[in-house]
Structure 1
Amino acid sequence: MNRTRQLTLTALFAALTAVLSQISFPIPFTPIVFTMGVMAVYLTAALLPKWNALLAQLVYLLLGAVGLPVFSGFNGGVGAILGPTGGYLIAYPVMAFLGAWMRELLGKTPLPRLPQYLIALFLTMIPCYLLGSLWYMQVGQVDWLTSLTATALPFIPMDALKVVVSSLLAMPVSIAVKKSGLLSEKV
């Protein structure tokens, strides 16, 4: 894939994350906001090579860090990243890289494409909840169980559904994007 195509796709997935992050709403019993931004991270991991996936999410974070309103609720600034729920934002590049890397590894196996996506994307939930909960625990000065109960456990069913939907969407999208010449056959 040439450099222009790589940069274009990287920018598109950073933009997709910014757009989907605005589909959000508070959940009364938790400090974490439900957002579709995580689904954009799953799609990034499913559709981009690992280094491009990492870069797309780093660009998203950088845009938010400099104050552009790309985080949920049209928030931006370093304060959003350093706040109690910032660990979930910090997890985005890790999730994208690990998910894409795992998908690339699974692509070398005889597994059909859908299970490859599902396994890779479900595994990205681990760094998401780990980094997010640990960050909340530190910044919020709460114990591990309180952090997990408030910031992770309520979201597992919704995030699992996002993984399934992202995996199902990635199948036809990857075929269409490959036919357009934007992605190599390896993805």
Structure 2
Amino acid sequence: MNNYNSNKSLSLHLKKLTLASMFASITVVLSFISIPLPFSPVPITGQTLALMLSGSLLEPATAFLSMIIYLALGAIGIPVFAGFHGGIGILMGPTGGYLLAMPIASFVTSTVLKYGRISFLKLIVSNIIGGIVIVYLLGVLQLGIVAQLNLKKAILLGALPYIPGDFIKVLLSSYLALKLMPILKKHIKTER
């Protein structure tokens, strides 16, 4: 009996690790969608869509791990960040705060969804909190410090131009999550 539970537990851990790796891979692919803006060092990317999906579909620890895997790949120099960049310098540069916020943002998004019934509105709210508020907060903070910008200028360059597109990502990730949740539940026992 104990061996059965041990194997079952190992199987569940392997499934969660596989999901975390899969969502790290999705983040890599979506990070290659990168549109530079001439007035800002921060490009429009698909990374936030990936972190919103991770937070919406995975349990908190698995969502967090998926973004840690993604950041670790980039930190060691694999060109997985926007614009096919990699290296620790990207994480320490003006756009690094947006990246470093990703594990926290996906964890918070998932944690908000953990309690109560999941609805489209709840997905939207959780993705705004994690995918926009937390990412912008840490991203704008690091942008301001590294680029030596005052808070107003950092917000003008690092947040305001991205709000409309990020709200579209919130709606898209919330819709996709509602459609994908039953599929994940069918194949993997999750809390959702």
Question: Normalised by the shorter chain, which TM-score bucket?
Answer: over 0.9
Task: Output one character per residue of 1:112-157: Cα deviation in whole Å (capped at 9) or x when no partner.
Answer: 5211211110111111111000101111111000000000010011
Quick one: which amino acid aligns to residue 58 of structure 1? Answer: I
Shift of 1:182: 2.0
Q: Secondary structure at the match of 2:44?
A: strand
Secondary structure at the aligned position of 1:69 is classed as: coil
AA partner of residue 126 (structure 2): A
Opposite residue 60 of structure 1, the aligned amino acid is Y
Distance in 2 separating the partners of 1:31 and 1:167: 28
Aligned partner of 2:121: which letter?
Answer: P
Match of 1:126 among 125, 128, 133: 133
How many residues align structurally?
181
Indicate the residue corresponding to 2:49 in structure 1: 39
Match of 1:2, SS state, is helix
The ranges of structure 1 where at least 4 consecutive aligned residues each deviate by more than 3 angstroms after the TM superposition are none
- Could you say which residue in structure 2 is the equivalent of 1:85? 95
Identity of aligned residues (%): 37
Q: CA RMSD in A?
A: 1.1
- Which TM-score applies when normalising by structure 1? 0.94
Select 1:13's aligned residue among 23, 28, 37.
Answer: 23
Equivalences for 1:23-172 in 2 at 5 Å? 23-105=33-115, 108-109=116-117, 113-124=119-130, 125-172=132-179
Q: Which runs of 5+ in 1 are unaligned?
A: none
Q: Give secondary structure in 2 for the equivalent of 1:98.
A: helix
Any unmatched runs of 5+ in structure 2? Answer: 1-10
What displacement does 1:183 show?
4.0
